[in-house]
């Protein structure tokens, strides 16, 4: 935290930190596999891009942040797990002006993580369609992975109230965007598609990994395009991707069963290909 190793109980931020007061900052979630940090450089690049978009100047260079992440992983002796990298605007006044916060706060957390049970990866997960749309790009571009996740959290509350763990969010045009913490893919007649970034989605690192590396490794290509809710519900297979979720199949959306109600063959093959690639030699670029 801010250049020093501290125990979690001692890692505190000021009550005047604009990250706490206003969600003013950005973050990355990153996975560790067999001691290697999956797509570390891509995550840090997105982090710096997010910071630039909100005019937050980190007090450390790209290389210093990368080394801090690696050192924190080593300090925790973590071979498998999860990293949370955070930049906040830092301590300031109770007013909104971000430029009255002279020094950003930077911290790295290394932890264990298990988002979903193993059984769910085998049988698939049920999700709902959120009544709450995704914030439009013109209001808050989702390529900025900001600390303000209230839009996602309110949709997540809808999911929990419905007895499931994820909710599909549409954009304000009514097209499929993404889930509260994951990107979404659809498979029909053997063809894989996913919403394009102009649908108002996070530019997911795992999403890009699946599109550019995992799917091609088993002979598939992925089309990025506009997708309707009706297409998703009538698909042969649906799956989600995310740093924490990895790749997981969806067996039901609202009251509509996807395909035969089980994780499909292509999704299974993508899960296996993903796990093989990250366990053997997880790419860090």
Catalytic residues, which ones? 145
What is the pairing mode between strands 105-111 and 81-88?
antiparallel
Nearest to 125 by CA among 192, 206, 188, 179: 179
Nearest to 73 by CA among 63, 60, 61, 85: 85
Determine the Cα–Cα distance for residues 284 and 213; give it in Å rounded to an integer: 13
Determine the Cα–Cα distance for residues 31 and 39; give it in Å rounded to an integer: 8
Q: Is the Cβ–Cβ distance between 254 and 129 less than 8 Å?
A: yes
Query: Can you list the alpha helix ranges (DSSP code H) found in 2-84?
Result: 18-22, 40-53, 62-75
Question: CA quadruple 95, 98, 102, 106: dihedral positive or negative?
Answer: positive
What is the pairing mode between strands 191-195 and 222-225?
parallel
Determine the Cα–Cα distance for residues 69 and 66; give it in Å rounded to an integer: 5
Nearest to 232 by CA among 161, 142, 170: 170
Give the CA radius of gyration of the chain: 19
What is the pairing mode between strands 167-170 and 191-195?
unpaired
Determine the Cα–Cα distance for residues 284 and 209; give it in Å rounded to an integer: 11
Nearest to 210 by CA among 175, 242, 244: 242
């Amino acid at each position: 935290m801010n250049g020093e190793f501290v125990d979690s109980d001692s890692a505190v931020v000021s009550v005047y930190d604009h990250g706490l007061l206003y969600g003013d900052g950005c973050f990355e979630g990153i996975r560790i596999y067999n001691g290697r940090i999956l797509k570390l450089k891509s995550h840090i690049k997105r982090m710096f891009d997010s910071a630039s978009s909100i005019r937050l100047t980190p007090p450390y260079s790209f290389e210093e942040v990368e080394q801090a992440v690696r050192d924190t992983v080593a300090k925790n002796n973590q071979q498998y797990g999860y990293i949370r990298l955070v930049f906040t605007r830092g301590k300031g006044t109770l007013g909104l002006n971000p430029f009255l916060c002279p020094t950003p706060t930077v911290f790295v957390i290394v932890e264990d993580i298990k988002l979903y049970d193993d059984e769910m990866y085998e049988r698939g997960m049920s999700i709902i369609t959120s009544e709450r749309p995704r914030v439009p790009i013109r209001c808050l571009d989702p390529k900025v992975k900001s600390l303000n996740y209230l839009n996602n959290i309110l949709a997540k509350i809808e999911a929990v109230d419905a007895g499931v763990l994820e909710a599909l969010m549409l954009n304000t045009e009514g097209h499929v965007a993404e889930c509260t913490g994951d990107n979404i893919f659809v498979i029909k007649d053997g063809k894989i598609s996913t919403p394009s970034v102009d649908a108002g989605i996070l530019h997911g690192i795992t999403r890009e990994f699946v599109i550019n590396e995992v799917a091609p490794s088993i002979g598939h290509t992925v089309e990025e395009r506009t997708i309707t809710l009706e297409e998703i519900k009538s698909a042969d297979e649906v799956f989600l991707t995310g740093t924490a979720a990895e790749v997981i199949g969806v067996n039901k959306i609202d009251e509509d069963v996807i395909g035969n109600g089980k994780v499909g063959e292509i999704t299974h093959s993508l899960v296996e290909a993903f796990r093989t690639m990250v366990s053997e030699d997880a790419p860090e670029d």
